[in-house]
Structure 1
Amino acid sequence: MQYLWVAVGGAFGAVARVAVSEWASLRWGAHFPYGTLVVNLVGSFLLGFILTLVAERAMLPAEARLLAASGFLGAFTTFSTFSWETARLITNGSHWHGGLYVTTSILGGLVAVLLGILVARAI
């Protein structure tokens, strides 16, 4: 049954990822990988928030963790696309944008996880 929770969450996460990526490209343009950056930062915040609620508050059942963290967020966020987009920026000569993307993704992701933890602890 646990695999079903992950699969259902993953289906919704994959669709949400495409929707957010398309929205970000329309909103800010396709010259920078805003879509992947947004999904990874939002996903980092939500992962910190959800796992803190599970671990420290016992506010969510194990099934909700599987559905949301492993399923939805596992499909919503993406490291492989981040790596590919970074490589494309660098190989196309946009070294500055590649460095900015890596720095913003890693530091922003860490800050987002910490904010998620703090918000969950404040509940």
Structure 2
Amino acid sequence: MSGLREVLLVGTGGFAGAVARYLTGGFVTRRLGLDTVLATVTANMLGCLAIGLAVAWLEAREEPAVAWRLVLVVGFLGSYTTFSTFGYETVELLREGRAGLALANALGQLLVGLAAVVAGRAVGNALLAG
């Protein structure tokens, strides 16, 4: 498979995933009248469910489905929510018997991610205060 074709497959899935994420958020906040935090939780949980289903389906196929993996897992779900990839990779580490690394991955990404948000806001505020 050529590099350009792979990029186009990921981009197509990514476009659809971004639109689906936007629509999910709108449905939860506007149609159901719930908080935006619950929209994020909804997208994250749906993404985790979807990546589990997609990987099970892809692994059950007799021949490798590289194109489907690129469109569904990398593109669509990567755009819909990267939390699904985080969840999948952490579960795979547990399945491989690498519980310490799974725990470090979960805690590390959470703590470093929160610290990065704090740092980004501080830098942004400092630049804007100019």
TM-score (ref. length: structure 1): 0.58
What's the RMSD between the two structures over aligned residues?
A: 2.6
- Number of residue pairs aligned between Structure 1 and Structure 2: 83
- Deviating 4+ runs (over 6 angstroms): none
Q: 2:69 is matched with which residue?
A: 65
User: Which structure has the larger Rg?
Assistant: 2
RCO (CA 8 Å, sep 6+): is it higher in 1 or 2? Answer: 1
Classify 1:5/1:38 alpha carbon distance in 2 versus 1 (closer, same or farther; 3 Å). same
Q: 1:21 is matched with which residue?
A: 25
CA distance in structure 1 between the partners assigned to 2:64 and 2:33 by the alignment = 38
Query: Is 1:42 aligned to residue 56 of structure 2?
Result: no
TM-score (ref. length: structure 2): 0.55
Q: 1:94 is matched with which residue?
A: none
Gaps of 5+ in 2: 84-109, 118-130
Gaps of 5+ in 1: 88-123
SS at match of 2:35: coil
Does the CA contact (< 8 Å) of 2:24 and 2:39 recur in 1? yes
